[in-house]
């Protein structure tokens, strides 16, 4: 009996440590290389991504990410933007790179968010190379996991 309790305790400890291991997709996004190219429509240079093979392999797969809500999506749009950093340090205000933000398209409209709410989202990864109306990293059919 005592032996089974020890085995059970070891299995429980292992499952907890595996459950706590989360992949940091911001680190994966940071492996993307960006090259400035002239964008005729806006008359300025924009950063175009070259995604690494390991990130391309995740496209269409469900991932879970944690990020800060930043209020930079246009009014009336069905998506939000999350950032690796709080608003004062994000891509739009603080000089972080384009790899530090992701667009989130929810399957169902979530509740309202406050600036810098730290939220966890699960959704299917889509990589965007050429639609300048959207960011490079997009989570589609997303679900709010925690707020």
The answer to whether position 10 is within a domain reads no
Contacts with 3 (C-beta within 8 Å, 6 or more apart), sequence order: none
9 in any annotated domain: no
Name the helix (H) or strand (E) containing 14: helix 2-20
Within a domain: residue 7?
A: no
Q: Give the model's pLDDT for residue 143.
A: 95
CATH number of 98's domain? 2.40.50.140
In a domain, 3, yes or no: no
Question: Rounded to an integer, what distance in angstroms lies between the CA atom of residue 80 and that of residue 110?
Answer: 10
Instruction: Return per-residue pLDDT of the chain as tens, 147 residues.
Output: 455 444 444 454 444 444 445 789 999 999 999 999 998 888 999 889 999 999 999 999 999 999 999 987 666 667 899 999 998 887 777 778 899 999 999 998 887 899 999 999 999 999 999 898 899 999 999 999 998
Domain residue limits at 139:
24-146
How many independent structural domains does the chain possess? 1
Looking at residue 21, its pLDDT comes to 54
């Amino acid at each position: 009996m005592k032996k089974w309790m020890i085995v059970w305790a070891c299995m429980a400890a292992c499952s907890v440590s595996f459950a706590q291991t989360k992949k940091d997709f911001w680190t994966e996004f940071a492996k993307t290389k960006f090259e400035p190219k002239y964008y005729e429509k806006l008359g300025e240079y924009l950063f175009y991504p070259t995604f690494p093979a390991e990130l391309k392999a995740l496209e269409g797969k469900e991932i879970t990410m944690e990020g800060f809500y930043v209020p930079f999506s246009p009014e009336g749009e069905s998506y939000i933007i999350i950032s690796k950093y709080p608003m004062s340090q994000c891509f739009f205000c603080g000089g972080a790179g384009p790899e530090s933000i992701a667009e989130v398209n929810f399957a169902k409209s979530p509740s309202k968010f406050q600036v810098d709410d730290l939220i966890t989202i699960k959704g299917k990864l889509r990589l965007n190379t050429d639609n300048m109306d959207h960011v490079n990293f997009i989570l589609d059919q997303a679900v709010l996991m925690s707020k």
